[in-house]
Structure 1
């Protein structure tokens, strides 16, 4: 957890906000919802931000629509109204939200672009998923599409589009083709990042606003880091 700057109501990176939804750029180390660690979750930070900005007394309504792994960064959508929440949930279930991720890997994938299809099985004891080429008991089908978009001095920048949303899906599937994400010790990278992050960033989301029906295309700035800077 060294060198982490976790989110607070005063430094929250709000990328988009209206009456019904708020989209923030999650820092590495933030947890989206509370867990056994007892650390303050990003959802509570967003509530604090809303309460102060709009001078709201009492409890602030906020619906959590989806999550990102704690060491990852990027876009997280929250619902500010009970009207928007079920509609946002429906967009995720029907896969009508397009999510694009960027990942840094040291090893070059065998193909410049490919579709990866695996069956993932989660082990709750070590909070880790394993990828299988065929269906096994208690596994779920996982599909992603990737392409190499830039060659850096020591890494490759991959752009990834998810077709499914499984536990540690991108991390597991890339590791299964010999391309663990930079800093991801759990899935086979050889050393950690200084801030304990992994170099996986939820870069862009596109969807139709659940209330206004406006088409939204939202991009998150990259983390402040020399290697991420080289990706632009």
Structure 2
């Protein structure tokens, strides 16, 4: 059984904390996926006949956990998608990386995805098929060769945080795909969606979905107070 914590819910939206290693959508693995698990839960909790609508607005990679928002109506889905396009949809992540990045920085890269291998690489601007990738980050703490960083995504490219940090020389802890030289097989990637914020698509009131990373290594490398401060800075 997969437990999915519900962080926010009303007639229009469903905010949850995604468990790690659960695919967001159905994939070739055939493993239970987040969308269908949530639909089944809504159907059972509200005794809904027939199909249940659940709009997917943004995605998290399979090994990544944390805050996500779904639309319970097509109207809410359309409006949330517009908020994403107009960059009124804020996404913030915590990551543990190898090395010591700058205290803060803004990065712009061009990313090209290879659909056959499901990998992404940084390429030159103007490369056919490449997409612009923008993020801001600040380093919260550094200890024993690892750093805790808080990342604000300005674009939502596939594997964006993992690829951009690896390209800059700071691969994520546990990332086998983009940091195999410094990580061990079996390690869980240390990337967590800590915050999703946006104006409610119907009421226009601010909505903040917050999820803290699990108290497991490497997250336990730092005192829990640093996570509380990171959350407070986003509200």
TM-score > 0.5, shorter chain as reference: yes
User: d(CA) in 2 for partners of 1:132 and 1:116?
Assistant: 14
TM-score, structure 2 length as denominator? 0.89
1:50 aligns with 2:72: no
How far did residue 14 of structure 1 move?
Answer: 0.8
1:77 aligns with 2:100: no
SS of residue in 1 equivalent to 2:177: helix
Q: Taking structure 1 as reference, are residues 193 and 159 closer, same or farther at Cα in structure 2, changes over 3 Å only?
A: farther
User: d(CA) in 1 for partners of 2:67 and 2:20?
Assistant: 12
User: d(CA) in 2 for partners of 1:183 and 1:215?
Assistant: 34
1:201 aligns with 2:192: yes
Q: Taking structure 1 as reference, are residues 103 and 54 closer, same or farther at Cα in structure 2, changes over 3 Å only?
A: same
Aligned with 2:214 (options 223, 229, 232): 223
For 1:191, the equivalent position in structure 2 comes to: 183
1:161 aligns with 2:152: yes
User: d(CA) in 1 for partners of 2:200 and 2:76?
Assistant: 9
For 2:110, the equivalent position in structure 1 comes to: 119
State the Cα deviation string for residues 82-104 of structure 1 (Å, max 9, x = none).
Answer: 22110111111111111111000
For 1:66, the equivalent position in structure 2 comes to: 58
Larger CA deviation: 67-76 vs 152-161? 152-161
Larger CA deviation: 127-136 vs 19-28? 127-136
1:33 aligns with 2:28: no
Count, aligned residues = 222
Aligned with 1:147 (options 106, 119, 138): 138
1:108 aligns with 2:100: yes
TM-score, structure 1 length as denominator? 0.90
In the TM superposition, structure 1's runs of 4+ consecutive aligned residues that sit over 3 Å from their partners are: none
SS of residue in 1 equivalent to 2:22: coil
How far did residue 193 of structure 1 move?
Answer: 6.5
Q: Taking structure 1 as reference, are residues 169 and 76 closer, same or farther at Cα in structure 2, changes over 3 Å only?
A: same
Note the residue ranges of structure 2 that are not aligned, 5 or more in a row: 225-235
How far did residue 53 of structure 1 move?
Answer: 1.5
Indicate conservation of the 8 Å contact 1:15/1:23, yes or no.
Answer: yes
User: d(CA) in 2 for partners of 1:226 and 1:166?
Assistant: 27
How far did residue 154 of structure 1 move?
Answer: 4.2
User: d(CA) in 2 for partners of 1:83 and 1:76?
Assistant: 18
